[in-house]
Structure 1
Amino acid sequence: MLTRFLSCKRVTVLATVMAASMSMGTAQAKMDEVHFLVPGGAGGGWDSTARGTGEALAKSDLVDKVSYENMSGGGGGKAIAYLIKTAKQSDDTLMVNSTPIVIRSLSKVFPQSFRDLTPVAATIGDYAAFVVAKDSKYQSFTEVVEDYKKNPRSVSIAGGSARGSMDHLVAAMVFKAAGGEPRKLKYLAYDAGGKAMAGLLSGETQVLSTGLSEALSLAEAGEVRILAMTGEERSQAAPNVPTVKELGYDTTFVNWRGFFGAPGLSDEKVAEFTDVLKQMYETDEWATVRDRYGWTEIYKPADEFVAFLEEQEQEMGSLMKELGFLN
């Protein structure tokens, strides 16, 4: 009887040890490699998203090896075409992208869309913001809207991208929600955010349409004031900046950033990517990166990401048609 008891006890202990070992193995499991493909140059939003995510994954020991590749060209189309062409060799590749993949696909800047890739997950977001010079006559976004509704041509809105691109569309969306005529928006297109900022400070334009994270860095320098942003609620990074929704203009916008795999990527590999990205959110290393850039977390894995993309495509497509950018 004693022998039987000891034998059972050894089995119980062994089972407990094995279970603990398996649990530890699961907790410590990590991916061997992630290669980030960036469809633009160094220093931009896509680049910082890829490198910041890679930094958090590597430093938190969730991924053993992280590498990066910048591939500019065609408004992001060159990298998309490359990922499709090399699909069989790209199981470990994640291409970063954002709202422009929807807009540029609709406007035929490149022939592909997100459907030609494997959406893996949206990870972060940056809301839009409306900015004025520190000495501007406008003390609130409501005042800007009032002038716009009286005479749309009296208010110029600048952006660091071309007509029909995100800065333009977001401004049109907000003024439409405010009861204005979006086609009459006086949009001044600059070929970079820095040049648009210079236009604002020189008085060439009254208002700048830009990302909230970029607006916060400009405001910290003391050169501008942020009048409103496009989140569902106020940002913790800018608690004094009202949302356009709370001002009575029923619209929101977030420029998501996320990751795509090659076409045909297996469900197992997608699950592996989404799991490791989800685990990343719980790490101190991620918190450091997120707070550094002022990002908002908007984790949307796989199918949820696809549904979000389809909804944004419909919304942006309708607005682009209304503005005359699509037939």
Structure 2
Amino acid sequence: MFRKFFGLLVCVLAFSSFIFVSAGDVEAETSVEKIHFLIPGGAGGGWDTTARTVGKVLQDTGLIEEASFENRSGGGGGVAINYLITTARRQKDTLMVNSTPIVVRSLTGVFPQSFRDLTPVASVIADYAALVVPVNSKFNSFKDIAESFKENPNSIKVAGGSVKGGMDHLVAAMAINAAGGDPLKLQYVPYDAGGKAMAGLLSGDTQMLSTGFGEAVNLAKQGEVKILAVTAPERLPEAPEVPTLKELGYNMEFANWRGFFGPPNLSQDKVDAYVSVFKKMYKTDMWDKMRKKYGWQNLFHPDKEFVAFLEKQEKEVGDMMRRLGFLQ
């Protein structure tokens, strides 16, 4: 009897030890101690600032032990994407930062890959678009712009800091379309950068500017421009007096998001671990301070929600690009 009991006890203990060790191995494998941030652009750009800010907050708040950074620019972001895919086996602790251009540039064939060739982990922030006029403009609402455009499309020229078919153009076209105007008749004037587009607006060369809210809000506070509307789902705390397009009756939202992608075939356990770390980051005072410093809005879509968000944006942007003749 004793031998049977002793034998059974040994088996139970051995099985328990196996479960404990296995669980420990899984925990060790899926915890996030360090993150190597792959940045598809050069130092000082939006991708670089986002990755380095997120990495600093995670490290300084003790959410991870180590953050490292690597800039691989070129090909409109395609060089970094290809690198992450082709070296996937060596990149188990790597996250690549990206944003809306990964959707636009894959549609236009700038690079052959899309977000589907990576592992979407989470969107983190957004810079919503703003539709802006000079402070002394006769237009006091986007409804005024829409009505003037429908009466005479030539009366409205829209400035933007991206090329034709780029984000600033697409945002203005989508807004005009939502208001019942013909986006093909929109006169979009591309400038080399957002600052030059703002100068074109203030000089009177154009009647409206399509730009990021973060760029517009400081000039609005200085009394140089009026923000007629934003493309956010609800009013933004930095400019609570500015309505959204939706509340004006136009069914249009747009977010220039920034988020993170892992290499292809990243395990769900690892994705969940990254998502948990980002959730904790949002609760820190340091993140709130840095977010406000750069004028970012929180936009958190974890893995599967992120994929659905990307698919929706891809369809909306693709539909408008086809209508404007930039895609077949």
Structure-2 separation of matches of 1:91 and 1:221: 46
Match of 2:208? Answer: 207
**Offset of 1:68 from its aligned partner?**
1.7
RMSD, matched Cα = 1.6
Identical amino acids, percent of aligned pairs: 61
For 1:151, the aligned partner's letter is: N
1:159 is matched with which residue? 160
Unaligned runs of 5+ in 2: 1-26
Flag the 1:224–1:41 CA change in 2: closer, same or farther, 3 A. farther
- Normalized against structure 1, the TM-score is what? 0.88
Q: Does 1:39 align with 2:40?
A: yes
Offset at 1:191? 2.2
Going from structure 1 to structure 2, the CA distance change for 1:40 and 1:323 (only over 3 Å counts) comes to same
Match of 2:240 in 1: 239
Contact map agreement 2:73 2:79 (CA 8 A) in 1: yes
The code of the aligned residue for 2:274 comes to F
Q: Which residue of 2 aligns with 1:223?
A: 224
**C-alpha distance in structure 2 between counterparts of 1:84 and 1:317, whole Å:** 24
Q: Distance in 2 between matches of 1:88 and 1:226?
A: 47
| Alignment deviations for residues 135-171 of structure 1 (CA, whole Å, 9 cap, x no partner) | 3232222211111111112211111111111111111
Could you tell me which amino acid in structure 2 is paired with residue 68 of structure 1?
Answer: F
Shift of the alpha carbon at 1:180? 0.1
Which amino acid is 1:295 matched to? Answer: W
Is the 8 Å Cα contact of residues 31 and 273 (structure 2) preserved in structure 1?
no
Partner of 1:193: 194
What is the letter of the counterpart of residue 127 of structure 2? D
Counterpart Cα distance in 1 of 2:64 and 2:121: 17
Flag as ranges the 4+ runs of structure 1 deviating above 6 A: none
Number of the residue aligned with 1:76: 77
Instruction: Give the secondary-structure state (helix, strand or coil) at the position aligned to 1:63.
Output: coil
The aligned residue for residue 267 of structure 1 is 268
Indicate conservation of the 8 Å contact 1:30/1:276, yes or no.
no
How many angstroms apart in 1 are the aligned matches of 2:245 and 2:139?
Answer: 15
Alpha-carbon separation, structure 1, partners of 2:222 and 2:85: 42
State whether residues 31 and 270 of structure 2, in contact with CA within 8 Å, keep that contact through their aligned partners in structure 1.
no
Aligned equivalent of 2:16: none
Counterpart residue number, 2:103: 102
Displacement of 1:208 after TM fit?
0.9
Which sits farther off after the overlay, 179-188 or 87-96?
A: 87-96
1:319 maps to a residue whose letter is M
Letter in structure 2 aligned against 1:99: T
Other-structure match for 1:133: 134
Deviations, residues 169-209 of structure 1 (Å, cap 9, x unaligned): 11111100100001111111112111211211222211110
CA–CA distance in structure 2, aligned partners of residues 136 and 68 of structure 1: 45
2:130/2:228 contact within 8 Å kept: yes
> 1:158–1:190: 8 Å Cα contact kept in structure 2?
yes
Q: CA deviation at 1:30?
A: 6.8
Offset, 1:104: 0.9
CA contact (8 A) 1:30 1:61 kept: no
Q: Secondary structure at the match of 1:31?
A: coil
Residue 204 of structure 1 aligns to which amino acid in structure 2?
D
TM-score (norm 2): 0.87
Distance between the aligned counterparts of 2:249 and 2:262, measured in 1?
Answer: 39
- Opposite residue 70 of structure 1, the aligned amino acid is N
Partner of 2:19 in structure 1?
none
Instruction: Write the letter of the residue equivalent to 2:304.
Output: D
* Number of residue pairs aligned between Structure 1 and Structure 2: 300
CA distance in 1, matches of 2:279, 2:216: 28
d(CA) in 1 for partners of 2:31, 2:265: 23
